[in-house]
Structure 1
């Protein structure tokens, strides 16, 4: 039987996507929730596989009750036929204005193209009247000598390993870089029995004192930070502020790291280097929004995030965006944005004007959290002269094995002044990740601001899939 309800495709099942799905489904819209993971939750609500029989998965989360409410609401809407949840679907493109003769009452305006399964070879298409992008963010990677050694991983990678598989990569860890993510990573590893030899934060804590107004407006965040600090003290984790990792050491895998103090200009202070034995280095320098799908749709960006209005609408009709894809701001902000986006999309798809008074609490939370994270962004920034740590022999682009020396030669010797020219001269960014990992580092070495590069597809696609485009099966019955 044909379902004539308006159809919304939500891409991403993290906090923003879940909040949007639940809100839209509760207001009469048929929702297809599409996600690459095997279960809903995203990185923030990542949980161990059921086969691991974790007795207390909530121990790895500090917003477990929120997750339970979202999970129960999602299950209710799936059971009622309001939501179709597609797991293990890897979206590589969203097209608009195609297949308009298909779908409910001929309303279809978008086609979401995805690859199904671990092999990502089976094409699937979802046709919808509108799309909500909740694609999250990814970690900013800044290379240094030894960063490619086994045992060196991103802070988010260490957290994902612990949450998803209850595993750690070693017995002794150093957590380093800058940003709020370092705190839950260090405390999570310590609680799992790992000896955290040091938490190395490049920022001067005095910088936080200059953001008192924004911090005071979020007492819950202050309390959360205090809890992490107490756990660090309980586990006797050494805190080194205004320090950075200079080099990772080891033959076949990580054996130690060298850290050094930074001066007020962000340069390494001579004579301050110290060597710390460890078999794990979890390093993070913040996150960047995932904007690939938004860019292929032609959505405007504000800096590195997708531009949205007060309803979380992009400048492309029928496209909403919420969560980290609009700017990095944590789970609470993602939930607020997702709730607003879901309500707005439902109202407009049902042919009515949204009632902003219905999301006043979420809008108030959104405003405060955006101000809070804007203040943190001014504090938690990589050291100003981090590129000075990259030697000519340091691999910067792992996919194509391009070194810092090759990039400097392209800039200083051949006159490259932007990431694209460096890419053409050195192949940096031409590999499997298409510059997602090395992009910030290449931009830093080229002396230009990092900006997302527009790509035709959000992920690599087999040629056979492209050849059969338009022939893929529907993910559900319309």
Structure 2
């Protein structure tokens, strides 16, 4: 019977979670795939709902064939009962039934029992629990946005937010846009908006094009990704999008909403060049400065964190028995890397739970794909570095923590006058990071303004939970 198979809970239905679920199910493991979205695919494969009647949803994507293959395979596994897909389930905690100690070095995971706690539905009020023999974290990442004067105006959105609106709702936030910040995400956002009829006035990228020349060996090892970048560049030219490399947004302007931005050139040291400012009229600013891994569930489980990523071994195992991690949560690297890591993690979990050995040829092929993708994105990370002196453009009256309305001046005062030397102390002195998002959005900015390193926050819960749900969480029911 299917219910007698070992049970793996996969959290996150993006590329990594999908690949892991399919790999594990194909090798004798019963899988429960848990995701907060209404449909599988994550941000990368986000699609408009059928009710909108999109005639060509593939036009907003590349690698659409990969999604069709993954989506069809998931549907087949769900129909046969080897994968259960729980959509619109928001996981707030994962805990072992019995306390377990992390292992060092990473040894083969012993069979443990873990409980996944989730909230069902858009209001996130109905509690759901899932018991599993192992858990695979594929929780993805979220955007990093640094503050600047005017960044809280209506019309200023994250680059990923603009893309999600377009992919998921076929809507745009304005008619004339500026796309700004740094990172490879800006290219598909700018081209997607332009293809949707938005006048993209400029793509403002703080990276220096010369930095790509210093990474030609690593970049050339992935010719498909290089060709993809060239195609994006061709589309920008076709839509007459002005590219402003080594520039940054220094301010957004408007009364009730955004009506213009000021951009300026950066010198070789990452400072704004005097007299280089120019004002660009727009009603939308899509801005992003890279990505951060979702670490909350891994932190609450006690997984070792390496920098700002979950630490894993060659099989994508964490140092907590029964817990694997794959995709952006182990390091930002795009869909191809997530697919490779997910496949490895799913095969590894299946092998450990069933006592079998993975096929060495398939394993080696996935490991090569993972290595190449990691090397490529390590090179990109060095190119798309933040401007070294971005904090100099943040005025004292700029709001840094939007939840608690804490300004940059208050953060600087906590450091200069009150002696704060880390993000936690700044938080205690100013309330920066104590609001609804619990610092997920403002921590990079607070750390930068405080001149200290951003470290994992070790949050107990991954999202806000009603007290009534917490009161009943001590006695979970079987899934």
TM-score w.r.t. length of structure 1? 0.96
Q: Which 4+ runs in 1 deviate beyond 6 A?
A: none
Mapping 1:252-291, distance limit 5 Å: 252-291=256-295
1:84 is matched with: 84
Alignment of 1:74 with 2:78, yes or no, is no
Partner Cα distance (2:258, 2:99) in 1: 52
Alignment of 1:440 with 2:444, yes or no, is yes
2:401 is matched with: 397
| Alignment: residue pair count | 469
1:299-341 superposed Cα distances (whole Å, 9 cap, x missing partner) = 1111111111111111111111000000000000000000011
Mapping 1:268-417, distance limit 5 Å: 268-417=272-421
1:207 is matched with: 211
1:196 is matched with: 200
Deviation of residue 97 (structure 1)? 3.1
Mapping 1:97-108, distance limit 5 Å: 97-98=97-98
Alignment of 1:178 with 2:185, yes or no, is no
1:104 is matched with: none
425-434 vs 465-474, which moves further: 465-474
**Unaligned 5+ residue runs, structure 2?**
101-110
Partner Cα distance (1:187, 1:223) in 2: 15
CA RMSD of aligned residues (A): 1.3
Mapping 1:440-459, distance limit 5 Å: 440-459=444-463
1:73-120 superposed Cα distances (whole Å, 9 cap, x missing partner) = 1011100110100000000000013499xxxxxx66100000111111
Mapping 1:12-51, distance limit 5 Å: 12-51=12-51
Partner Cα distance (1:3, 1:261) in 2: 61
Alignment of 1:6 with 2:10, yes or no, is no
TM-score w.r.t. length of structure 2? 0.96
Deviation of residue 470 (structure 1)? 3.3
Partner Cα distance (1:332, 1:360) in 2: 16
| Contact 2:2 2:82 (C-alpha < 8 Å) held by counterparts | no
Partner Cα distance (1:232, 1:472) in 2: 53
Partner Cα distance (2:313, 2:2) in 1: 33
Partner Cα distance (2:382, 2:9) in 1: 35
1:256-287 superposed Cα distances (whole Å, 9 cap, x missing partner) = 00000011110101101000000000001000
SS of the residue 2:3 aligns to: coil
1:214-253 superposed Cα distances (whole Å, 9 cap, x missing partner) = 0110000000000000000000000001100000000010
Deviation of residue 351 (structure 1)? 1.6
- Cα distance change, pair 79–466 in 1 and its aligned pair in 2 (3 A): same
| Contact 2:112 2:322 (C-alpha < 8 Å) held by counterparts | no
2:104 is matched with: none
1:103 is matched with: none
